[in-house]
């Protein structure tokens, strides 16, 4: 419809010079004819005037229609691209997000989509309109007078040359500008996310200088783009008006010599002035093409990505029978900017309902990687992980992540109420279910003391909550879904020992029916486990119950001596043992005063 209305609008534009030229020729003929009937002259002029008025109104109506529909198409394209981009972000693997900055993704998902959205109205339809006007005008003008027709279109080759060179320059410039705007968004995102650190270290002046430097670079590139567009628009407009002057001069001489009529010259001039606006918009059209090409390239660099972690074509929902989780000679490594780093080596163990596995080891030993492998945030590079004999790579991701609950140390809260944050995995959960989960996480009584109860807003990223409260809310959020396997990835590091004991007691009934893996630096969090694995450099060095490992007198024993009975002698072993907090937590004061 937009293309059709554009074509119709162009036809009426081309009709106006024909009617105007014919009207003037008729008027001149009537003036030269002494025997002409004045009533016939008035009638002819009235008819011509009405035709001109009708053509102008039709041109305006169809121009309005093509502008409206062009903008509507652009908005719909923007909507579809935003949804496609956001959908792609939901599917991308953890490994992708480890190497890309949020600020860059935000720029692509907003500014680049906006650049593509504007293409339909500012470039495509206007180019079609100009092409029809020039093509149709060429036929009509040359048919009327070859010399004047060629002169009236003499500006076209120059304009085409300037448009091509400008597009190449603008394309490179827009690419540079979009990249600089990505850096600008990245700087702002980091500053706002770390605003408390900035204030704590009085880094406002430094941050302002950094932002100002990046902003100046973006502004300089924007000014350069404006200069390219304005210069080329000026040259193209100058070439156009030079052609207008040439038509007026040559056509005037032809009228004087009697080769053509005044109305014919008027027809050519009217055609030229109809072209005036599209020609003056050529700079915007060329800029639209260049920006769209650049923005589209950057956008589809993301949309064309294939997630590393995805369902196999024949993947089926996972089937849980016994609920047994097995690591079978698992290796894991991934390539990053530091090279091919091997994280896990030949890891094997089994977790079954009512069975708790404790995992401990120094920082960087691969403990959290184990937690990320079970829900397939990453895929193993050797061996396999099975649930009831099913390789987790062969089942549907969504079904797998419904049965595996991972409670991470670094919790994220949405800017919403406590109730919504707890019920994030099941927004339609009953109130009793939400309260049961928070009770098990030892958070219900604290929430009840708040002025707005469960409707209290937690603030951006949970800023209004302490570390221990965020971790307990995260535990409640995972318990809400009643997963078949629960993995606590150092999720009680900010919770005091007494509260942790109460949480463990409240979860006893749940953990008796599920396989549980507890990853912790704090031995008091996992001494009760049926089997404890001591991991270092990705390998299991020791395994057994707490009593067995103490009797062994190895790494676990040294860590136990350091944490449970710290003293001057134990400090000497600090370099060889795991870095871990003591059994007293930072949440005790929080529970005492309710803050």
- Binning pLDDT at 50, 70 and 90, where does residue 203 land? confident
4/568: higher pLDDT: 4
54/573: higher pLDDT: 54
Task: Give the pLDDT score at 61.
Answer: 93
Instruction: Tell me: pLDDT of 494 over 70.
Output: no
Cα pseudo-dihedral 221, 224, 228, 234, rounded to 10 = 140
Task: Give the pLDDT score at 581.
Answer: 39
Task: Give the pLDDT score at 349.
Answer: 92
- Distance, in Å, from the CA atom of 264 to the CA atom of 268, rounded to the nearest integer, reads 7
Neighbours of 64 (CB within 10 A): 12
> Which ranges of 194-261 would DSSP assign to H, the alpha helix?
195-200, 204-256
Cα pseudo-dihedral 39, 45, 50, 56, rounded to 10 = -170
Instruction: Tell me: pLDDT of 293 over 90.
Output: no
Task: Give the pLDDT score at 337.
Answer: 47
- Binning pLDDT at 50, 70 and 90, where does residue 83 land? very high
Comparing 188-192, 233-237, 589-593, the range with the smallest average pLDDT is 589-593
Q: What is the mean pLDDT of residues 555-574?
A: 65
pLDDT digits (tens, 9 = 90+) for 128-182: 888 888 888 888 888 888 888 888 888 888 888 888 888 888 888 888 888 888 8
Mean pLDDT of the chain: 82
- Cβ neighbors of 548 (< 8 A, separation 6 or more) are none
CA distances from 2 to 14, 65, 125, 473 (A): 18, 7, 8, 53
Q: Up-side HSE of residue 220: CA atoms within 13 Å toward CB?
A: 8
Task: Give the pLDDT score at 578.
Answer: 40
- Binning pLDDT at 50, 70 and 90, where does residue 429 land? confident
- Distance, in Å, from the CA atom of 517 to the CA atom of 534, rounded to the nearest integer, reads 13
Comparing 107-121, 226-240, 482-496, the range with the smallest average pLDDT is 482-496
Q: What is the mean pLDDT of residues 100-107?
A: 82
CATH class of 325-593: alpha beta
In terms of residues, how long is the chain? 595
- Binning pLDDT at 50, 70 and 90, where does residue 574 land? very low
Residue 451 tokens read as: 């002025």
With 0-12 CB in 10 A as exposed, 13-18 as middle and 19+ as buried, what is 272?
buried
Neighbours of 493 (CB within 10 A): 21
81 in the Ramachandran plot: left (φ > 0), alpha (ψ -120 to 50) or beta? alpha
Q: DSSP string covering 502-544, please?
A: HHHHHTHHHHTTSEEEEE-S-GGGTTT-SEEEEEETTEEEEEE
Task: Give the pLDDT score at 387.
Answer: 92
Percent of the chain at pLDDT exceeding 90 = 11
How many helices (H) and strands (E) the chain has is answered by: 25, 10
Neighbours of 254 (CB within 10 A): 17
Could you tell me how far CA 458 lies from the centroid of its own chain? 25
- Name the residue among 330, 453, 470 with its Cα closest to residue 407: 470
Q: State phi, psi for 536 to the nearest 5 degrees.
A: -145, 130
Q: State phi, psi for 269 to the nearest 5 degrees.
A: -65, -40
Q: What is the mean pLDDT of residues 524-547?
A: 88
Task: Give the pLDDT score at 575.
Answer: 40
Task: Give the pLDDT score at 335.
Answer: 63
With 0-12 CB in 10 A as exposed, 13-18 as middle and 19+ as buried, what is 448?
exposed
Judged by DSSP in three states, 460 sits in: helix
Task: Give the pLDDT score at 329.
Answer: 92
Instruction: Tell me: pLDDT of 76 over 80.
Output: yes
Q: What is the pTM of this model?
A: 0.73
Task: Give the pLDDT score at 336.
Answer: 55
Comparing 243-247, 465-469, 482-486, the range with the smallest average pLDDT is 465-469
Q: State phi, psi for 353 to the nearest 5 degrees.
A: -50, 135
Task: Give the pLDDT score at 587.
Answer: 43
pLDDT digits (tens, 9 = 90+) for 348-405: 999 988 888 999 988 888 888 888 899 998 889 899 999 998 999 999 988 898 889 8
CA distances from 400 to 385, 391, 393, 397, 566 (A): 12, 11, 10, 5, 42
Judged by DSSP in three states, 573 sits in: coil
Task: Give the pLDDT score at 566.
Answer: 53
Query: 326 has which bridge partners?
Result: 350, 386
Residue 593 tokens read as: 């005063």
Q: First vs last Cα of the chain: how many Å apart?
A: 62
- Distance, in Å, from the CA atom of 64 to the CA atom of 45, rounded to the nearest integer, reads 28
Neighbours of 105 (CB within 10 A): 20
Give start-end residues of each CATH 1.20.1560.10 domain in the chain.
75-303
- Distance, in Å, from the CA atom of 185 to the CA atom of 100, rounded to the nearest integer, reads 13
Q: State phi, psi for 459 to the nearest 5 degrees.
A: 80, 170
Q: What is the mean pLDDT of residues 508-527?
A: 81
Task: Give the pLDDT score at 565.
Answer: 63
- Distance, in Å, from the CA atom of 519 to the CA atom of 360, rounded to the nearest integer, reads 6
- Binning pLDDT at 50, 70 and 90, where does residue 32 land? low
Give start-end residues of each CATH 3.40.50.300 domain in the chain.
325-593
CATH class of 75-303: mainly alpha
Residue 64 tokens read as: 């309005």
- Name the residue among 350, 91, 294, 352 with its Cα closest to residue 178: 294
- Distance, in Å, from the CA atom of 37 to the CA atom of 30, rounded to the nearest integer, reads 8
Strands 485-489 and 404-408: parallel
Neighbours of 328 (CB within 10 A): 16
Residue 151 tokens read as: 């002169």
Q: What is the mean pLDDT of residues 503-516?
A: 75
């Amino acid at each position: 419809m937009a293309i059709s209305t554009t074509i119709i609008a162009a036809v009426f534009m081309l009709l106006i010079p024909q009617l105007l030229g014919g009207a003037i020729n008729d008027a001149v003929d009537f003036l030269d004819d002494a025997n002409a009937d004045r009533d016939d002259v008035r009638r002819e002029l009235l008819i011509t005037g009405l035709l001109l008025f009708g053509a102008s109104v039709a041109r305006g109506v169809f121009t309005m229609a093509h502008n409206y529909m062009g903008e509507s198409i652009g908005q719909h394209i923007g909507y579809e691209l935003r949804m496609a981009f956001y959908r792609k972000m939901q599917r991308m693997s953890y490994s992708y997000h480890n190497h890309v900055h949020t600020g860059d993704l935000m720029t692509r998902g907003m500014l680049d989509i906006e650049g593509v959205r504007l293409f339909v109205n500012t470039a495509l339809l206007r180019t079609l309109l100009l092409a029809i006007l020039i093509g149709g005008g060429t036929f009509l003008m040359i048919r009327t007078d070859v010399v004047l027709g060629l002169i009236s279109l003499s500006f076209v080759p120059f304009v085409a040359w300037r448009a091509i060179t400008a597009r190449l320059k603008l394309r490179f410039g827009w690419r540079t500008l979009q990249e600089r705007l990505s850096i600008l968004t990245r700087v702002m995102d980091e500053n706002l996310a770390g605003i408390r650190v900035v204030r704590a270290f009085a880094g406002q002046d430094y941050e302002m200088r950094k932002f100002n430097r990046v902003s100046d670079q973006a502004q300089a590139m924007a000014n350069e783009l404006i200069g390219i567009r304005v210069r080329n628009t000026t040259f193209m407009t100058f070439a156009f008006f030079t052609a207008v002057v040439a038509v007026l001069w040559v056509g005037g001489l032809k009228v004087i010599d009697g080769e053509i009529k005044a109305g014919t010259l008027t027809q050519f001039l009217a055609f030229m002035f109809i072209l005036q606006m599209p020609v003056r918009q050529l700079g915007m059209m060329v800029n639209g093409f260049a920006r769209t090409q650049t923005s589209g390239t950057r956008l589809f660099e993301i949309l064309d990505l294939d997630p590393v972690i995805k369902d196999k074509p024949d993947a089926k929902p996972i089937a849980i029978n016994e609920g047994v989780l097995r690591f079978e000679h698992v290796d894991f490594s991934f390539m990053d900017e530091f090279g091919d780093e091997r994280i896990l080596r030949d890891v094997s163990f089994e977790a079954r309902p009512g069975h708790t596995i404790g995992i401990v080891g120094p920082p960087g030993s691969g403990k959290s990687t184990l937690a990320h492998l079970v829900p397939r945030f990453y895929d193993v590079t050797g061996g396999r992980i099975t649930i009831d004999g099913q390789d987790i790579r062969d089942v549907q991701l969504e079904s797998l992540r419904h049965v595996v609950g991972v409670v991470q140390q670094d919790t994220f809260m949405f800017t919403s109420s406590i109730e919504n944050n707890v019920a994030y995995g099941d927004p339609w959960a009953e109130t009793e279910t939400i309260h049961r989960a928070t009770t098990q996480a030892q958070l219900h009584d604290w929430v009840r003391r708040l002025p707005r109860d469960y409707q209290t807003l937690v603030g951006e990223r949970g800023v209004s909550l302490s570390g221990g409260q965020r971790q307990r809310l995260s535990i409640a959020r995972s318990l809400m879904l009643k997963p078949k396997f629960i993995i606590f990835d150092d999720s009680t590091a900010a919770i005091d020992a007494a509260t942790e004991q109460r949480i463990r007691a409240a979860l006893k009934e749940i953990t008796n029916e599920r396989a549980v893996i507890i990853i912790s630096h704090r031995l008091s969090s996992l001494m009760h486990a049926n089997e404890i694995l001591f991991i270092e450099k990705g390998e299991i060095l020791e395994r057994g119950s707490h009593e067995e490992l103490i009797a062994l007198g190895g790494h676990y024993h040294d860590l136990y001596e350091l944490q449970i009975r710290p003293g001057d002698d134990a400090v000497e072993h600090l370099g060889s043992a795991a870095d871990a907090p003591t059994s007293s937590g930072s949440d005790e004061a929080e529970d005492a005063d309710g803050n």
